[in-house]
Amino acid sequence: MVIVGRPRGFDEETVTAAAAALFATRAYDGVGVDDLVQHLGVHRNSLYKTFGSKRGLYLAALHWHVSHVLQPLIDQLRSGRDPEQFFDHVTRKGNLDLLLLAAVERAPADTEVAAVVAQALQLLEQAIDDVPMLPSGRTGKIALSELLGERVRVRALSAG
Amino acid sequence: MVIVGRPRGFDEETVTAAAAALFATRAYDGVGVDDLVQHLGVHRNSLYKTFGSKRGLYLAALHWHVSHVLQPLIDQLRSGRDPEQFFDHVTRKGNLDLLLLAAVERAPADTEVAAVVAQALQLLEQAIDDVPMLPSGRTGKIALSELLGERVRVRALSAG
DNA sequence: GCGGTTTAGGAACGGTCGTTCTTGACCGAT
DNA sequence: ATCGGTCAAGAACGACCGTTCCTAAACCGC
């Protein structure tokens, strides 16, 4: 495979990460392609050439979020050091927002999103379940629900 | 005040309830005025005459949901009988979905929605807090978070 | 009946959506 | 230098959005 033609002036992963940040703030339909073009600094044509469609970019951003944000947090939790910091990163900072929005808003309308969300939730649940010395009677499922709900509350109150 | 003119052919509260049901399934931007006209059986002009705008109808639906769905559930919980049924109505059935969507998706973009959501969450939290014989160490805040998160999980997995 | 008022029914509006097309600049290999 | 290819830039597309306007029908008080 020989590279031919003008090289692209943007880094695909950087753009994907920026898209993830944007999709984490507003609902899918609330983020226009114009917004993406403006915040990502990449032209429409390049976006469509690279990701195919707005949905393609969203799916790429969601996958990136799971593997480059959630997975490191999971790894950190599994390392056993500072489980409190995991809680903080997830609830206080917005590291769960894209997954949360995807679960609540997109998943019911997009089976592919639903599948990614389901897998991510499973990963999180399992990781929490494997934490030693979890208070008795508290499964990973319950602890994860508490995490998600806590973030819902914080997010809802953060505006106004 | 004397009534003059053709009487309306629909019940305002029935329409509001139907709108609430619709807004509970999809995101705000995902529900078009055409959808509302079709599912509610009321024509555009009447909707705009009655509620002013799509946002006005949404706010009416949200208020109705809080006072006619959540409040009765709260009252039932406070009555002390069958607290398990409260949990079931809220998580298994969709009785929390409109509030959940409003909290996650609308509240950050609409301060009036945020205010209604904040008050509703406060009501729920207080009601749970006042339940006697709550397991020690479990505040209403934590129990409500768990409720919300559980519903997020169920909702995300219900599609696909 | 009649006049006044409100609803019902659609057509129509400007704006914005996601997407595509057109044009020219750019780069690597020949 | 030239050709083949990709990229950048912006205009343009049809479709749909929320909203408004216009006309006819239905009802009340007189």
Tokens of A63: 């996958």
Angstrom distance (rounded) from CA A117 to CA A96: 11
Residues A103 and B156 sit within 8 Å (Cβ to Cβ): yes
Chain centroid offset of residue B112 CA: 14
Q: What is the pLDDT of residue B1?
A: 63
To the nearest whole number, what is the mean pLDDT of chain A?
92
Residues A157 and B102 sit within 8 Å (Cβ to Cβ): no
Kindly report the CA angle at A26 between A122 and A150, in degrees rounded to 5?
50
Q: What is the pLDDT of residue B2?
A: 74
pLDDT (average), residues A128-140: 81
Q: What is the pLDDT of residue B94?
A: 87
To the nearest whole number, what is the mean pLDDT of chain B?
92
Q: What is the DSSP letter of A96?
A: T
**A108 and B148: CB-CB below 8 Å?**
no
Q: What is the pLDDT of residue B89?
A: 87
Q: Of B99, B100, B123, B145, which to mutate for an interface test with A (greatest number of A Cβ within 10 Å)?
A: B145
How does residue A10 score in pLDDT terms, banded at 50, 70 and 90?
confident
Angstrom distance (rounded) from CA B16 to CA B63: 9
- Residue numbers in B 42-101, CB below 7 Å of strand C: 42-46, 49
Choice between A132 and A122, residue whose per-residue pLDDT is larger:
A122
- Is residue B99 over pLDDT 90? yes
Share of chain B above pLDDT 90, in %: 72
- Is residue A2 over pLDDT 70? no
**A107 and B29: CB-CB below 8 Å?**
no
Q: What is the DSSP letter of B145?
A: H
Angstrom distance (rounded) from CA B45 to CA B30: 21
Q: What is the pLDDT of residue A1?
A: 58
- As a CATH number, domain B12-157 is 1.10.357.10
Please name the residues between 88 and 127 in chain A that touch chain B, using a CB distance below 8 Å.
Answer: 100-105, 107-109, 111, 114-115, 117-118, 121
How does residue A3 score in pLDDT terms, banded at 50, 70 and 90?
low
Angstrom distance (rounded) from CA A17 to CA A59: 12
From B152's Cα to the closest Cα of chain A, the distance in A is 6
Q: Of B147, B152, B154, B155, which to mutate for an interface test with A (greatest number of A Cβ within 10 Å)?
A: B152
Q: What is the DSSP letter of A8?
A: P
* Nearest CB to B105; choose among A27, A147, A157: A27
A97-111, B67-81, B130-144, range with greatest mean pLDDT: A97-111
List chain A domain ranges.
Answer: 12-157
Token pair 């010395």 in the structure block, residue: A133
Instruction: Give contacts of B111 with chain A, Cβ < 8 Å.
Output: 159-160
